[in-house]
Amino acid sequence: MTPKRDSAVRVGLVYPELLGTYGDRGNAVVLVQRLRWRGHDAELVEVNAGAPVPDSLDLYLFGGGEDDPQVMASAGMRASRAAIDRARAGGAALLAVCAGFQLIGHSYEAADSTMIDGLGLVDAVTRAGPNRLIGELVVEPDPPLPVLTGFENHGGRTTLGPGERPLGRVLARTGEGGDTEGVVGDRLIGTYMHGPVLPRNPALADLLLSWVVGPLEPLESALEERLRGERLDAGTASGVRRWWRERLLARG
Ligand code: GLN
């Protein structure tokens, strides 16, 4: 049994009005619930748009968003940079999804060519791509994480610097978006996977939680496994369909 902390684990949902377009709030719900199921006190803290991001949270969640809300969110995040740095230096973990992932890099180029400065927590830049990538995504991370699934919907293409480690290799996706996905850093995960990603991939939720509370006992997960199976099937089927389409096109 993991020794319990004196205080509740504070899971912070940052600017959900701006960075919550694709249901990423579900990630916070899953993290809190998986802690409670194991007997930990846990609290969901919402940091409303425009408010300073506090340094007192244990886990920070930056979600996805459309370009305009993303510009607004980035200003508040940059203004809170010192607090975020303090929290991370004190051991806090961070999950950044899509727009959130783009904003933990150095910069994001929006579809209308506006350049947005990010936090620079990882060595990454995002440029506007030629089209939007929309569809199921299947990613193979390094062990011990199992294959992950998500849903992506974004125009930006993120390039990691040479010192950064991707979250995994892309096994299947619907468009041409590169062979790797996301980033893993020091108590930090960035990813393009919505879904939301954590209900679909409880192992990823538990990895984040273990960074905050230490090793965790396993949970019964028949329902989650059923969802994983179904989404793996959907994602791989779309990858296979794309492969056939490309072969047919190549034949002319
Ligand atoms: N606005 C960003 C893009 O289109 C992020 C989209 C998202 O968060 N889903 O690339």
Which position has the token pair 């984040």? Answer: 208
Confidence at residue 243, expressed as pLDDT on a 0 to 100 scale: 55
Q: Vertex 232, ends 231 and 236: CA angle to 5°?
A: 115
Q: Give the residue extent of every domain in the chain.
A: 9-251
Q: Is the pLDDT of residue 208 over 90?
A: yes
57-68, pLDDT tens digit by residue? 999 999 999 999
- The string over 222-232, giving b where at least 16 C-beta atoms fall within 10 Å of a residue's C-beta and e elsewhere, is eebeebbeebb
Looking from the CA of 26 toward its CB, the CA atoms found within 13 Å total 16
Please choose from 74, 153, 159, 191 the residue to mutate so as to test ligand 1's pocket, defined by most ligand atoms within 8 A of CB: 153
pTM for the model = 0.93
Confidence at residue 221, expressed as pLDDT on a 0 to 100 scale: 86
73-118, pLDDT tens digit by residue? 999 999 999 999 999 999 999 999 999 999 999 999 988 888 999 9
Confidence at residue 112, expressed as pLDDT on a 0 to 100 scale: 86
Closest atom of ligand 1 to CA, residue 63? 8
Residue 69, preceding peptide bond in cis (omega within 30° of 0)? no
User: Which pair of structure tokens corresponds to residue 221?
Assistant: 């997960």
Least confident among 165-169, 211-215, 236-240 = 236-240
| Ligand 1 neighbourhood includes 129 CB (under 6 angstroms) | no
Burial of 27 (0-12, 13-18, 19+ CB in 10 A): buried
CA of 12 to the centre of ligand 1 (A): 21
Q: Which fold has domain 9-251?
A: Rossmann fold (3.40.50)
